[in-house]
Structure 1
Amino acid sequence: MNSRFPMVFSVTSGKGGVGKTNISVNLAYTLAQSGKNVVLLDADLGLANVDVLLGMAPKYNIFHLFQEDMTLDKVMLDTPYGFRILPASSGVSDMVNLDKGQKLDLLDAMDALEDEIDYLIVDTGAGINDNVLYFNLAVQERLVVLTPEPTSLTDAYALIKVLKMYHGVERFRVLVNMVKDQKTAKDVYIKLANACDHFLDGVSLDLVGFIPFDKNVRNSVVAQIPFCHGEPDTPASRALVQAAKLVNGWKPTTATDGNIKFFWKKLLFQEQSVA
């Protein structure tokens, strides 16, 4: 059993195409390589591609748990890289329509996971639709991924604005991806921070790091392996490892907030929270 409660955090973005899922996969890999027990939940509904990046073909997702004789062990897949994935590529959009018994069944299934793992990483979809908001409201920390593109910056701000103004979320972590240098990354972060300071009182942004543009990343994507595994000595991999070290230092503010069952409870019982 863990000496502390697991950390549950999302990797999210306001815009697609910023490398969010690739960051999720490589954070899972790097944390697992540091000795942590990690599960990556694919919550990018309808466009789920964690399995694609890993060259895997999941047969089940979490909603198969409602079938007779289905267990969490059958749904969750081991990867060759030391972490597991929990597919959720279909059915999650119907989460608010589950009856009470189904919700309790799912909570019970997740109970077994709680004592096993150190991190649950939630790879959300992009944008501000209901499913993205659901997952971002249920986690302990939110890592917002963006690039130097103006549209990425604008959409990241939009996501933060909705979560702050309508749901009271005030703390965000930021990672700037595919930048040419550190100065560019800091300029992007400062622009986002200035916009939040000016228009969103109380929002706190913490720069976790930046990942430089690296052609080797594409080679690993084509090969369907984490770039930190396939190209461990490249600039992108070294930067990702540094970011993972900061993530490894995150602590739940309370035991309850970091609790896996609490994550699912918030997710499954907040039907009105994104209305």
Structure 2
Amino acid sequence: MDQAGTLRRLSRGMGRGSIREASSHSTKLRGLAVASGKGGVGKTNTVANLALSLSRMGKKTLVFDADMGLGNIHILLGLVPRYTLQHVISGERSMQEILIKGPGGIDVLPAGSGARQYNDLNGEEMLILKTELEVLEEKYDYVLFDIGAGISNNVMYFCSAVEDTAIITSTEPTSFADAYAVMKVLSKEYDKREFKLIVNSVRKASEGQEVYNRLSQVSDRFGLNIRIDYLGHIFADKSVPDAVRRQRLFTDIYPTSEASVCIHNIAKMLTQTLSPSDIEWGRIFA
């Protein structure tokens, strides 16, 4: 019996209500799960550009498209995958076999799209992905998970199964409220206590700091008992939509743009080569 078949046998009966059991199985996955409460805040674009920045710092980087059923990071990168994570779940391919090479030497595990049955994975399917990835992740310095938006079972599973979780929000009140909702559910129902925060599409640096301060204050006021670390902001920048239209990464074709500098600073924060006190956020393109 192959590995996928064995896992199906062992995990049979976990069912769709077993997200906590699946996410707590064995150890946490190494990496950073990047999620958002609201769609359209630039999460996928941030993940892809952050991966490229890490790769150019000499870090072997893997991008895992965890937006199951609606994955599109391959489109952003101009890639056409032959196989996706859907083939891994079905047992047709291993993760190693579906890996594709992206720009700057990053590796990508594409999710595929247009398959509604993968929008709500069951415990068995989640365990298959986790077990395969536990073998593959040892090859990499960083694994970035592009998580879907909202609070679906898939989002909750990947955020709770991965060591670190970063929430991306914008300055819009709806985005702020949804980011808080994701952290609330993860802390209350999945005992997730530490989060990182990235604020996208700011006009000035102080806006990002203000969002971080407000989220911290609200979470304290309502007793979430969580810690939020501020990774930084990303400026609203015309180079970003231009790069998307060209299916290129803005850090690749506009390496000195305001948004690219922000991404590089966030990458340095992740690699601990830069601390918040080293960056005068208010003076960088303020």
**TM-score (norm: length of structure 2):** 0.78
Counterpart among 239, 249, 270 of residue 216 in structure 1: 239
Aligned length: 243
Report the Cα distance in structure 2 between the residues aligned to 1:17 and 1:68, rounded to whole angstroms.
32
Give the aligned partner of residue 42 of structure 2: 19
Counterpart among 82, 103, 128 of residue 59 in structure 1: 82
Give the aligned partner of residue 246 of structure 1: 269
Q: Which moved more, 1:66-75 or 1:40-49?
A: 66-75
Give the aligned partner of residue 47 of structure 1: 70
1:192 is aligned to 2:215 = yes
Give the aligned partner of residue 184 of structure 2: 161
Distance change >3 Å, CA 23–CA 66, structure 1 → 2:
closer
Query: 1:49 deviation in Å?
Result: 1.1
Q: Which amino acid aligns with 2:122?
A: V
Report the Cα distance in structure 2 between the residues aligned to 1:180 and 1:186, rounded to whole angstroms.
12
Q: Which amino acid aligns with 1:192?
A: L
Distance change >3 Å, CA 97–CA 156, structure 1 → 2:
closer
Q: Which amino acid aligns with 2:176?
A: L
1:131-163 Cα distance to aligned partner (Å, 9 max, x none): 110110111111100000000000000111111
Q: Which amino acid aligns with 1:124?
A: I
- Identify unmatched segments of 5+ residues in structure 2: 1-27, 274-286
Query: 1:111 deviation in Å?
Result: 4.8
Report the Cα distance in structure 1 between the residues aligned to 2:207 and 2:57, rounded to whole angstroms.
29
1:80 is aligned to 2:106 = no
Give the aligned partner of residue 31 of structure 1: 54
Give the aligned partner of residue 171 of structure 1: 194
Q: Which amino acid aligns with 1:16?
A: G
Preserved contact between residue 180 and residue 212 of structure 1 (Cα < 8 Å): yes
Query: Is the partner of 1:163 in helix, strand or coil?
Result: helix
CA RMSD of aligned residues (A): 2.3
Query: 1:97 deviation in Å?
Result: 5.8
Report the Cα distance in structure 2 between the residues aligned to 1:227 and 1:199, rounded to whole angstroms.
38
1:132 is aligned to 2:158 = no
Report the Cα distance in structure 2 between the residues aligned to 1:162 and 1:97, rounded to whole angstroms.
19
Q: Which moved more, 1:87-96 or 1:22-31?
A: 87-96
Q: Which moved more, 1:40-49 or 1:151-160?
A: 40-49
1:98 is aligned to 2:124 = yes
Query: 1:73 deviation in Å?
Result: 3.1
Counterpart among 135, 138, 163 of residue 115 in structure 1: 138
1:182 is aligned to 2:205 = yes
Identity %: 35
Query: 1:116 deviation in Å?
Result: 1.0
Query: 1:96 deviation in Å?
Result: 1.9
Distance change >3 Å, CA 108–CA 21, structure 1 → 2:
closer
Q: Which amino acid aligns with 1:135?
A: F
Q: Which amino acid aligns with 2:137?
A: E
Distance change >3 Å, CA 68–CA 144, structure 1 → 2:
closer
Query: Is the partner of 2:103 in helix, strand or coil?
Result: coil
Query: 1:92 deviation in Å?
Result: 4.1
Query: 1:248 deviation in Å?
Result: 1.4
**TM-score (norm: length of structure 1):** 0.81
Preserved contact between residue 38 and residue 121 of structure 1 (Cα < 8 Å): yes
Report the Cα distance in structure 2 between the residues aligned to 1:97 and 1:157, rounded to whole angstroms.
26
1:235-255 Cα distance to aligned partner (Å, 9 max, x none): 1000110011011139xxxxx
1:89-143 Cα distance to aligned partner (Å, 9 max, x none): 35644642638xx956x56643541331111111000011111101101111111
Preserved contact between residue 52 and residue 103 of structure 2 (Cα < 8 Å): no
1:229 is aligned to 2:255 = no
Preserved contact between residue 179 and residue 212 of structure 1 (Cα < 8 Å): yes
